[in-house]
A and B are shown apart, each in its own frame.
Chain A
Amino acid sequence: QQKVQQSPESLIVPEGGMASLNCTSSDRNVDYFWWYRQHSGKSPKMLMSIFSNGEKEEGRFTVHLNKASLHTSLHIRDSQPSDSALYLCAASMGYKLTFGTGTSLLVDP
C-alpha cells in the first residue's frame, strides 16, 4: 500500500516569511501529486497539482516536483495569517488519492 510522508509535522513562520513543506511518495506508479489546504473545521480544498518534473507557480504558491525521487514541495512566499491551516499532500494513481498526514502551518502576525 502506497505511503505518503510529509514533513515537517508543524511549522511556524512569521507574517511575510517563506513556508516550505515537503512530501514524498513510496510508490513509483504515482500519476499526480496534489496539495490541499484545510482550514480548521473546514473541508480540504485543492491548492495545486503537478505531474511533470519542474516547477509550477500560482501567485504566492510554488510547487516543485522531482519524479525520480518522488518528492514534491510546496513553498508559500509572503505568508499571511490566513495561510494558517493544515496542508495535505496527496498522490494519485488513477482515480484514487492517498493522503499524507499533513503539515500544520501557523503564520505568526
Chain B
Amino acid sequence: EAAVTQSPRNKVAVTGGKVTLSCNQTNNHNNMYWYRQDTGHGLRLIHYSYGAGSTEKGDIPDGYKASRPSQENFSLILELATPSQTSVYFCASGEVVEQFFGPGTRLTVL
C-alpha cells in the first residue's frame, strides 16, 4: 500500500511565527496534495503539485506557500501563522485512480 508520512504529527506555534509542515511519499506518485480538515468544512485543498518543481494553488491558498523540491517531498509553509490556521493538515499522494493520505498533522496556533 502507498506510504505517505508527515512530520511533525503535532505542532504548537505562536501567532506570527513561521511553520513548515513536511510530507514524504515512497510510491513515486507524480501528484501530491495538501488539505486542511475542519469540522463543518470537510477536506479543503490548499496546494497541490504535479511533480518536482511544480506547485499549484488549490481552493484555499491564502496564507500558505508550498514547495516540491523532489518527487518524494512536498512541504506546506505558513510564513506568518494565525489562529485561524489552527486545523488538522493532511498530505496525500496519488494519481487519477486514488489518493493516499498521510496520518495528518494537528497544528495549533496560539
List A residues at the B interface (Cβ < 8 Å): 1, 31-32, 42-46, 49, 88, 90, 92, 94-102
Contact-residue size bin, chain B (C-beta under 8 Å from the other chain): 20 to 34
Report the tally of A-B residue pairs with Cβ distances under 8 A.
44
A43 touches B42 (CB 8 A): no
Name the distance in Å between B18's Cβ and chain A's nearest Cβ: 25
B42 touches A102 (CB 8 A): yes
10 further A-B contacts with Cβ under 8 Å, apart from A88-B42, A95-B48, are A1-B59, A42-B103, A43-B90, A43-B104, A44-B90, A46-B98, A88-B43, A94-B96, A97-B45, A97-B99
B50 touches A96 (CB 8 A): no
B48 touches A96 (CB 8 A): yes
Known: A1-B59, A95-B48. A45 touches B101 (CB 8 A): yes
Name the distance in Å between B45's Cβ and chain A's nearest Cβ: 7
B44, B50, B98: residue with the most chain A Cβ atoms closer than 10 Å: B98
Name the distance in Å between B4's Cβ and chain A's nearest Cβ: 8
For the complex, what is the distance from the CA of A1 to the CA of B102, rounded to whole Å? 26
- Residues from chain B with Cβ under 8 Å of A94 in the complex: 96
- Residues from chain B with Cβ under 8 Å of A49 in the complex: 97-98
B31, B42, B97: residue with the most chain A Cβ atoms closer than 10 Å: B42
- Residues from chain B with Cβ under 8 Å of A96 in the complex: 45, 48, 58
Known: A44-B90, A46-B99. A95 touches B42 (CB 8 A): no
Contacting A at CB under 8 A, from B29-68, are 31, 33, 35, 40-45, 48, 50, 58-59
Cβ-neighbour of A43 out of B41, B58, B101 (below 8 A): B101
B48 touches A43 (CB 8 A): no
For the complex, what is the distance from the CA of A100 to the CA of B101, rounded to whole Å? 16
Name the distance in Å between B91's Cβ and chain A's nearest Cβ: 9
A95 touches B31 (CB 8 A): yes
A100 touches B42 (CB 8 A): yes
